[in-house]
Structure 1
C-alpha cells in the first residue's frame, strides 16, 4: 500500500483567540490526526516581541527547527491523515511553506483579551491583572494588530472567532472535505 502524505492544517489566532481549543477539538473529530502545539516548544525567537513587531514581525527570525523536525517525523510516519498545527504564522515562515490549509480564527480583540485574562490570571490578584492590561494598552496591542495585518490576510480560510467551537470545527471540516 502506498504511503499517502498527510494533509497539514495550521490554526492561527491572536493569543486567547481559540487556537488551542479549536486544534484540540479538531483532532478529536478528524480520524487519524496528530497535533503539534507551538507553545509546547522552547523555540528561539526575538528577545523583545514588541520591538520585533515594530520592525515588521518577520517570522523567519524564529528558529522553528524543533517543530519542523517533529513535523517531518509525523509526515513520514504511517497511518496519519491529518497533522494539525496550533501555529501563529500561517505560511509566513520560509521553512513552513508546505502547509496545505491555513486557517485564521478571527476573534474580536476584546473577547481574546477576556479569554486570556481568564486563562492566564485565574489565580492572580487584581494588581497582576491591571498590570497586564496596562502593558496591553501601552505595548502589547500592537502585536495583536500585527497578526491581523500579516497572518490573517495570508490565511486560506478566515473564521469568526466569536462563533461556538462546534460551529468553527464544522466550518473547517466542510472546507477540508470540499
Structure 2
C-alpha cells in the first residue's frame, strides 16, 4: 500500500485589498489537486473592536478559528497535493500554525490596497459612505494595515511584491512552492 503524503498547506497573507483572494483563486487553478479555504467565508468570534485589539498588542489567538480549522482538517484528510488558505494571519495563530507549510505575504502598497478595497466594496455606495470610510481609515483603520506590515509580513516565509500582474505573482509562488517540495 502506497504511503500518501499530506497536502502542502500554503497561507496567502496580506492586508485587506492586497490581492489574497485573487491570488488564491488563480493559484488553485495553477497547482495540481488543490483546494482553497477563504478567511472571509467565516463568521469568526474575535475582538469586538479591531483598533482596540491592535492597540493592545494584537493577540491573534483571541480569534476563535474553530470553523476554519475544522474545514482544514477535513481537507487535510483528502487526497490533495495542496491546500491554499486565503488567511491574513500567516503563522501568528498558534492553532493554525501547525498546519501551515509555507506562508506567503503579498506586499501591496497601502495606497493600492485601499484603492482596490474602495473599488471592490463601494461600487454602488453613495459618496458619503466612501468619505466616511476614508475618514475612518485615516483616523483608525490604517493602524490595522500597519499591524499587518509589522507582524505578519516578517512572520512569513516569503514576501512577494503585490504590484505585478496576478499571473506573475502566481507563477512566482508556484515556483517557490515547487522548489520547497523538491519539484524543480
TM-score, with length taken from structure 2? 0.95
Q: State the distance in 1 between where 2:120 and 2:135 align.
A: 18
Q: Does 1:155 align with 2:156?
A: yes
Looking at structure 2, the residues matched to 36 and 150 of structure 1 have their Cα atoms a distance apart, in angstroms, of 22
Residues 68-102 of structure 1: CA deviation (Å, up to 9, x unaligned): 0110111112x200000000100110101121000
Equivalent residue runs for 1:97-116 within 5 Å: 97-98=97-98, 99-116=100-117
Aligned to 2:47, the other structure's residue is in SS state: coil
Counterpart of 1:153 in 2: which secondary structure? helix
Is it true that 1:133 corresponds to 2:120 in the alignment? Answer: no
How much does 1:128 deviate? 0.5
Residue 56 of structure 1, CA deviation: 1.1
C-alpha displacement at 1:31, in angstroms? 1.0
Counterpart of 1:63?
64
Q: Deviations over 1:24-65 (max 9, x none)?
A: 000111110010000001110000001001111110000001
Return 5+ residue gaps in structure 2 as ranges.
180-184
> Which residue of the partner structure matches residue 96 of structure 1?
96
RMSD: 0.6
Tell me by how many angstroms 1:7 deviates.
Answer: 0.2
Distance 1:3 1:67 in 2: 23
Residue aligning to 1:37: 38
The residue aligned with 1:82 is 82
Query: How many residues were matched structurally?
Result: 177
- Matched residue SS, 1:91: coil
Counterpart-to-counterpart distance in 1, 2:118 and 2:87 = 20
> Partners in 1 of 2:89 and 2:151 — Cα distance?
8
Runs of at least 4 residues off by over 6 Å = none
Question: TM-score, normalised on structure 1?
Answer: 0.98
SS in 2 for 1:141: helix
Q: CA deviation at 1:3?
A: 2.0
